[in-house]
Amino acid sequence: GQNIDQPTEMTATEGAIVQINCTYQTSGFNGLFWYQQHAGEAPTFLSYNVLDGLEEKGRFSSFLSRSKGYSYLLLKELQMKDSASYLCAALDSNYQLIWGAGTKLIIKP
């Protein structure tokens, strides 16, 4: 079956760095997405990786290892507004997105 695993909840301190991990098992693979979702709002696109390695975009970076079925989202210089859920999703061989349940990130002052 197809499966995405990510931690349910994480807590970090304002100004710190946090890494949110995601492992995936899909029928074929055409890329890995990260989305941010604030409470009561729609998911918004953060990053897309299809090749191995690190993609940096400001305070956020995303890493992919295809051989390990593993990705992480790295958030630096955490701000209170980064409190949200972070959704990992893998694109399978049919170009359908398989979604994880999301990681709720709580930022403390």
Q: Which of 22, 84, 87, 107 binds another protein (CB under 8 A)?
A: 87
Tokens of 32: 């890995």
Instruction: Name residues contacting another protein, limited to 54-83 (CB under 8 A).
Output: none
Choose which of 23, 31, 55, 70 interacts with another protein (CB under 8 A).
31
How far apart are the C-alpha atoms of 67 and 82, rounded to whole Å? Answer: 30
Residue matched to tokens 């999703």: 89
CA distance 99 to 86: 11
- Measured from the CB atom, the residue of 15 and 53 that comes closer to another protein is 53
Q: Is residue 16 part of the contact set for another protein (CB under 8 A)? A: no
Q: Considering only CA atoms, which of 106, 108, 100 is closest in space to residue 7?
A: 100
User: To the nearest whole angstrom, how small is the minimum distance from the Cβ of residue 15 to another protein?
Assistant: 30
CA end-to-end span of the chain:
40
Query: Out of 22, 24, 43, 107, which residue is the one contacting another protein (CB under 8 A)?
Result: 43
Binding site for another protein (CB under 8 A): 4, 31, 33, 41-45, 48, 50, 87, 89, 91, 95-102
